[in-house]
Amino acid sequence: MTSSTTQPTSNPATQDSDFLRACRGEATSRVPVWFMRQAGRSLPEYRRLREGVAMLDSCFRPDLVVEITLQPVRRHDVDAAIFFSDIVVPLKAIGIDLDIVPGTGPVVAEPIGRREQLERLRPLEDGDVEPIAAAVGELVAELGPTPLIGFAGAPFTLASYLVEGGPSRDHRLTKQLMHSDPVLWHELLGRLAVVAREFLRVQVEAGASAVQLFDSWAGTLSLADYTEFVAPHSRTVLEGVAGLGVPRIHFGVGTGELLGTMGEVGADVVGVDWRVPLDEAAQRIGPDRAVQGNLDPTTLFAPTDVVHAHAARIIEQGRAARGHVFNLGHGVLPETDPDALTRLVEFVHGYELD
Ligand code: CP3
């Protein structure tokens, strides 16, 4: 990570927060914790606010984005806020016809599979996402010392939605394109990398003090295919924001075999799902990077003492890494009892690190 020059949230208290310290591999007095999808349907106050407003419409309304992002920070006392948005927001912003269908996910009107369709994926310009920059600016003012994490979808995960036209179990069409027309594939991912990089840059320049690149579906690939067809483009995104001076978190699901490479493409922190213990993950990632994770989100449906036993194990295993940010191994499930999350934050914060 390079030192900060253009990053406007040089609030010393933010920079000295446990979350940013752990991302940088510095000592912390307690383990920082936040949750992927901490904002969202597990919170009744979120469901009330979203009534009658479509998901994508809410992402372009700064008043809603600010309030929804703050809700879990107020309720759970987490160490970081994650910007309320979605990975498909920058695609919508450059004019791709898509929607987020409740209970399903992103659905693309005209899936991409041919060269002439690539033109639709033009670079993102600042003017496309003014409401996003405005919301980030307001949030940073409201959050005070609490860091705000900006995020983007990684080129592969975005490509999967664009090529399949929606969520997919086996990513068949995506892999078919990758293997049958590698030239078109690399052009597609190259364009998506520029969109993702610019979306991160806008958020950091507006005040986000860390970024996370979500490659949620990268775990469906072999290491060989990931390395050849995906890693160069994720590197474009992560190296492209290196100069902004904020920690870069790189996350995917089922990525046990990819962890080392996901670190090497330009991450300061590697997100780990629950399948690989953090001490083993730290071995695979190497000594130069921190880890984030990795409680199985379904564990939160178990009795509190079971949840806390798993959390204690994860904290102990995380000590093998250069730094540890506690999180789930994937997003909060909508059915989760929010009080279980609040209790988990209390437990992690109260855990004695000797
Ligand atoms: O983490 C947070 O609290 C920030 C908000 C956030 C959302 N989406 C809000 C959202 C983040 C970081 C995302 C990223 C995202 N979106 C990913 C990567 C993370 C992951 O979960 O792997 C992916 C794959 C998407 C695509 C997507 N958008 C899916 C699969 C869904 C769920 C569809 C459903 O209804 O079950 C969405 C919609 C979405 N994005 C919701 C939220 C809160 C639910 C929509 C609603 O509340 O109506």
By C-alpha distance, which of 343, 352, 238, 350 is closest to 295?
A: 343
CA 34 to ligand 1 centroid distance, Å: 16
C-alpha 55 to ligand 1 mean position (Å): 9
Residue carrying structure tokens 């590698």: 182
Say what the alpha-carbon torsion angle 139, 142, 145, 147 is, to the nearest 10 degrees. -20
The CATH number assigned to the domain with range 12-350 reads 3.20.20.210
User: Helix/strand/coil (H, E, C) string of the chain?
Assistant: CCCCCCCCCCCHHHHCCHHHHHHCCCCCCCCCECCCCCCCCCCHHHHHHHCCCCHHHHHCCHHHHHHHHHHHHHHHCCCCEECCCCCCHHHHHCCCCEEEECCCEEEECCCCCCHHHHHHCCCCCHHHHHHHHHHHHHHHHHHCCCCEEEEEECHHHHHHHHHHCCCCCCCHHHHHHHHHCHHHHHHHHHHHHHHHHHHHHHHHHHCCCEEEEECCCHHHCCHHHHHHHHHHHHHHHHHHCHHHCCCEEEECCCCHHHHHHHHHCCCCEEECCCCCCHHHHHHHHCCCCEEEEEECHHHHHCCHHHHHHHHHHHHHHHCCCCCEEEEECCCCCCCCCHHHHHHHHHHHHHCCCC
pLDDT of residue 70: 98
Find the residues whose C-beta lies inside 6 A of ligand 1: 36-41, 50, 55, 82, 84, 86-87, 100, 102-106, 151, 157, 214, 216, 331
Give the pLDDT confidence score for residue 9 in this predicted structure.
56
Predicted pLDDT at 201: 98
Are 38 and 345 contacting, i.e. CB atoms less than 8 angstroms apart?
Answer: no
Asked if 289 is an active-site residue, the reply is no
Between CA 132 and CA 202 the distance in angstroms is 8
Handedness of CA 43, 44, 48, 53 (dihedral sign): positive
Q: How far apart are CA 102 and CA 54, in angstroms?
A: 9
Local confidence pLDDT in tens for the 354 residues of the chain? 333 344 455 799 999 999 999 999 999 999 999 999 999 999 999 999 999 999 999 999 999 999 999 999 999 999 999 999 999 999 999 999 999 999 999 999 999 999 999 999 999 999 999 999 999 999 999 999 999 999 999 999 999 999 999 999 999 999 999 999 999 999 999 999 999 999 999 999 999 999 999 999 999 999 999 999 999 999 999 999 999 999 999 999 999 999 999 999 999 999 999 999 999 999 999 999 999 999 999 999 999 999 999 999 999 999 999 999 999 999 999 999 999 999 999 999 999 987
Domain ranges within the chain, ordered by starting residue: 12-350
Q: What tokens does 174 get?
A: 């995506």
Which atom of ligand 1 lies closest to the CA of 212?
A: 12
Q: Specify whether 191 is catalytic.
A: no
Integer Cα distance of 146 and 141 in angstroms: 10
Active site residue 41: yes
Residue 351: active-site member: no
Ligand 1 pocket test, candidate residues 100, 136, 217, most atoms within 8 A of CB:
100
Count the residues in the chain. 354
Q: How far apart are CA 282 and CA 58, in angstroms?
A: 38
pTM of the predicted protein model: 0.96
Distance CA 191, CA 202 (A): 17
Half-sphere exposure of 57 (CA within 13 A, CB side): 7
Whether 126 is catalytic: no
